Amino acid sequence: MEIAILLFDKLTMLDAIGPYEVLSRIPDARVKMVAAEAGIIRNDRGSLGIVADYSLDEVVRPDVVVVPGGLGQSDLMNDEKVLSWIRKVHETSRWTTSVCTGSLLLASAGLLKGLKATSHWLAYDALRSLGAEPVSERVVIEGRIITAAGVSAGIDMALALVARECGDDTAGAIQLQIEYDPQPPFDAGAPHKAPPELVELLRSKSRFRH
């Protein structure tokens, strides 16, 4: 199984690395880090780099596509080279997926029109404006498109994909292998759980505020 993870400058690194740690453990999986141009890609803080070994032109028929989010997603919303690649690989992929605001790129490519999808909770209005139906769920599966909520939800998305491709036992074994057993110290991981003042603080700083 060939898995392509799209990289771009100013991405949120866990959006890509979380799914990588799960999907790379599928038996016979071949993961390819791909970007508009091969080379070093830096995260949204500029402090961490990752190598894209392949350019878009070199990865044309992956079985699985993962589109992460991050600040750099905004720069790609009208980048026809990237959007055309997403549309093209989706034609033959078994699964096209996104994490966090990566769903805005899927929507910009025209893949989410009329479909339920999720994203980071601050991006729901932006997702709706692009023709999708945003839902407040951790992972949303619509046919062969899977969207995940913010950042850490990419791990859940990848495990759900593995379960459908390889069965629950394999997915459970991978979850155990990476010891994914979240027990966060605060119950503030979603806007309906977090204190209202924290929600409003993040809204006030959001690049998606209207």
Q: Does residue 194 belong to any structural domain of this protein?
A: no
Q: Does residue 131 belong to any structural domain of this protein?
A: yes
Specify the 3-state DSSP secondary structure of 177. Answer: helix
What lies within 8 Å, CB to CB, of 102 at 6+ separation is 6, 15, 66, 67, 68, 69, 73, 119, 147
User: Mind listing the pLDDT tens digit for each residue in 58-101?
Assistant: 999 999 999 999 999 999 999 999 999 999 999 999 999 999 99
User: Mind listing the pLDDT tens digit for each residue in 17-57?
Assistant: 999 999 999 999 999 999 999 999 999 999 999 999 999 99
Q: State residue 209's pLDDT score.
A: 56
Buried b (16+ CB within 10 A) or exposed e, 11-39: bbbbbbbbbbbbbebbeebebebbbbebe
Q: Does residue 206 belong to any structural domain of this protein?
A: no
What total number of domains does the chain contain? 1
List, in sequence order, every residue forming a beta bridge with 55; answer none if it has no partner.
Answer: 35
User: Mind listing the pLDDT tens digit for each residue in 106-156?
Assistant: 999 999 999 999 999 999 999 999 999 999 999 999 999 999 999 999 999
What lies within 8 Å, CB to CB, of 149 at 6+ separation is 100, 118, 119, 120, 121, 136, 137, 138, 139
Q: Does residue 28 belong to any structural domain of this protein?
A: yes
| Residue 173, both tokens | 């074994």
Q: Does residue 34 belong to any structural domain of this protein?
A: yes
Using CA atoms, how far apart are residues 153 and 137, in angstroms rounded to an integer?
10
Q: Which residue intervals of the chain are DSSP H helices?
A: 13-23, 73-76, 80-92, 102-108, 124-129, 153-166, 168-177, 196-205
| Location of structure tokens 């990848």 | 158
Backbone angles phi, psi at 96, to 5 degrees: -115, 125
Using CA atoms, how far apart are residues 37 and 52, in angstroms rounded to an integer?
8
User: So which residues are the catalytic ones?
Assistant: 100
Q: Does residue 208 belong to any structural domain of this protein?
A: no
pLDDT higher than 50, residue 203: yes
Using CA atoms, how far apart are residues 153 and 99, in angstroms rounded to an integer?
7
Model pTM?
A: 0.96
Average pLDDT score over the chain: 97
Q: Does residue 207 belong to any structural domain of this protein?
A: no
Q: Does residue 58 belong to any structural domain of this protein?
A: yes
Domain that holds residue 167: 2-183
Query: For position 92, which CATH number holds?
Result: 3.40.50.880
